[in-house]
Structure 1
Amino acid sequence: MYQTLTFLHSLFRWLVLLSLVYSIFKACKGYFLNLEFSKIVDSLRHWTATVVHVQLVLGIILYSKSPTVKYFWKNFNEAKASFDILFFGLIHIALMLFSIVLITIGSALAKRKSTDKEKFAIMLIYFSIALIIILLAIPWPFSPLAQRPYIR
């Protein structure tokens, strides 16, 4: 079960990144070209937030079952000295939660704005900031913070 969740989490990592990048592209294009905030773009906004929330649920389940995280919370004083354990026990989840909050707020605000330009601007700002935070918080194989393979 844990391996299946880990695989789904890795798969959804890419779906989150792809949907965010595409949403940001559409928001940028819509904002600068003064396009209409169509039902397709609104669906993209909605489904991007949905994919991110599914990833959140998978991440919380994995976080609660992770032996690294369990060690971190049971041995907090010793574990916080190891940056790798600190990253997975606290930094990663804090940054990811913050980015998901930004995406959720950005999605909700964009939905409620009255003009298309405002909708695109909100989506562009909130989703872009969230993407930058997510890119920093992902344990890429080349990351100086913590490393994991692309797909486990």
Structure 2
Amino acid sequence: MYNGLLHLHNILRWVVLILLLVSMFQAFAAKNSSAGGLRKTSLFLLISAHIQFLIGLYQWFAGEFGLNLIQDSGMAVVMKNSALRFWAVEHIVGMLIAIILITIARGKVKRSAFGAAAWLYVIALILILASVPWPFRDGVARPWFPGS
């Protein structure tokens, strides 16, 4: 089950990134309160980002790179090792902040504050890009797609 959720988490990353980019560009382009496309896209983004976070939260509690790593090695050891620190702390904290910003941005879209939503999406995108274990990151790399 853990591996299946890990693959789903990997695939859903792309859904979240695509929806985030689309929502961000729509928010920058929105001029009036009838931005129906943005409202739908931002809702799909909100739902997929929260599902992604719930899957990741399960992995953090049940997997080997989250709470179990901290309990087995100790927080001091984890914080001294950059790869362990990434999985136990940086990844989950960065993603949590990004999800919070996406949630706030969705509220801004509902109130037609498109400019504020756009900038919140930009900050969330930067946090997500910094917190994803891309294949080119030393020590924490994951494949572009599951099974590759």
TM-score by length of 1: 0.87
* Residue number in structure 2 paired with 1:60: 57
In 2, the alpha carbon distance for the partners of 1:37 and 1:131 equals 25
* Preserved CA contact (<8 Å) 1:110 1:123: yes
Q: Distance in 1 between matches of 2:51 and 2:84?
A: 25
Q: Is the 8 A contact 2:78 2:85 kept in 1?
A: yes
Show the counterpart of 2:132.
138
1:40 positional shift: 2.3
Percent identical across equivalent pairs? 28
Q: Which runs of 5+ in 2 are unaligned?
A: none
Cα shift readout 1:58-92 (whole Å, capped 9, x = no counterpart): 11011112212212233222222211011100011
CA distance in 1, matches of 2:71, 2:105: 32
Partner of 1:42: 39
Residue type at the aligned position of 2:108: L
Preserved CA contact (<8 Å) 1:20 1:131: yes
Per-residue CA deviations over 1:7-31 (Å, capped at 9, x if unaligned) read 110111000000000111111222x
Task: Tell whether 2:5 aligns with 1:11.
Answer: no
The answer to whether the 8 Å contact 1:72/1:89 transfers is yes
Any gaps of 5 or more consecutive residues in structure 1? 114-118
* Matching residue within 45, 48, 56 for 1:51: 48
Using structure 2 for the length normalisation, give the TM-score: 0.89
Give the secondary-structure state (helix, strand or coil) at the position aligned to 1:60.
helix
What is the CA distance between 1:112 and its match in structure 2? 2.3
Whole-Å Cα distance in 2 between the matches of residues 130 and 54 of structure 1? 16
* 1:93 maps to amino acid: I
Rounded to whole Å, the distance in 1 between the matches of 2:48 and 2:69 is: 29
Q: Does 1:89 align with 2:83?
A: no
The 8 Å contact of residues 139 and 145 in structure 1, kept in 2 or not, is answered as no
1:71 matched to 2:61? The reply is no
